[in-house]
Amino acid sequence: MDMNMGANMNNQTVIRTQDINLWYGTTHALTDITMEIQKNKVTALIGPSGCGKSTLIRVFDRMNDIINGCRIEGKVFFNGKNIYDPDIDVIEIRKKIGMIFQKPNPFPMSVYDNVAYGPRIHNVTKRAHLEEIVKKSLKLSALWNEVEDRLGQSALGLSGGQQQRLCIARALAVEPEVILMDEPTSALDPIATAKIEDLITDLKKQYTVVIVTHNMQQAARISDYTGFMYLGKLIEFGKTVQVFERPEQELTENYITGRFG
């Protein structure tokens, strides 16, 4: 019996964007994006290359802050608080909202130290406590069985799929609420991809997931909600079944039936 069933029945908004506009220099990359991310759901962002998917997902944890010439207008409420308010602690935001990238990027250190990295930064020093967090995170990311006897070895020696699950464990170790994933499986083979997809479905019991994907079958398989973007605009947003089976916009239909993209 799914312990989260009761909670899942009442939708709860975790992130809400309000009229987001974003420019890189003079390039208007996002136009009037207003959308909501639901708790304990998987939300997929799809659309052709250059439409603004990565830009939008980076808006959710202020990762665009570090890009020169990037300017943003609008608001992003995370649990009701605008994360672009001047008094916001960005480090705290990124602890609560983790990011997984396209290419697995483990640090050049041991498997153990990769997962312990975040908790150490956030002042977990007791050895037993750290060990507990590392084990729990590796179990949650479905990697424990494969690495329990090589925790002290370099993370760079893991396969691509294992490295990506390690990065997920590293993100989980600081107890985030939301996990953002930008094409997390596009560098992986089909078997490693299937493992990550199963993992994402598992993770939504405890976390909220937003995933950018080029792969429409993947979006259809694992997401509850889908947003279709085109030229910096959110053209359509809704339940995944509705967007794929009964899209309201002709553009969406053309894209999902493969007429462009």
Ligand X SMILES: Nc1ncnc2c1ncn2[C@@H]1O[C@H](COP(=O)(O)OP(=O)(O)OP(=O)(O)O)[C@@H](O)[C@H]1O
Residues within the interface to ligand X (CB under 6 A): 24, 27, 29, 47, 49-55, 67
Question: CB of 222: closest distance to ligand X in angstroms?
Answer: 18
Q: Is 38 in the site for Mg ion (CB under 5 A)?
A: no
Q: Which does 144 bind (CB under 5 to 8 A by kind): ligand X, Mg ion, none?
A: none
Question: CB of 82: closest distance to ligand X in angstroms?
Answer: 22
Decide whether 62 or 136 has the Cβ nearer to ligand X.
Answer: 62
Q: State both tokens at 45.
A: 């962002």
Q: Which does 49 bind (CB under 5 to 8 A by kind): Mg ion, ligand X, none?
A: ligand X
Could you say which of 54, 163, 164, 213 contacts Mg ion (CB under 5 A)? 54
Contact at 8 Å (CB) between 14 and 178? yes
Strands (E), the chain: 13-24, 27-38, 42-46, 70-78, 81-82, 97-100, 178-182, 208-212, 225-230, 233-239
Q: Is 64 in the site for Mg ion (CB under 5 A)?
A: no
Contact at 8 Å (CB) between 75 and 68? no
Decide whether 133 or 234 has the Cβ nearer to ligand X.
Answer: 234
Q: Is 17 in the site for Mg ion (CB under 5 A)?
A: no
Decide whether 67 or 121 has the Cβ nearer to ligand X.
Answer: 67
* C-alpha–C-alpha distance, residues 69 and 52, integer Å: 16
* C-alpha–C-alpha distance, residues 207 and 178, integer Å: 6
Burial class (CB in 10 A: 0-12, 13-18, 19+), 64: buried
Decide whether 8 or 31 has the Cβ nearer to ligand X.
Answer: 31
Question: CB of 211: closest distance to Mg ion in angstroms?
Answer: 12
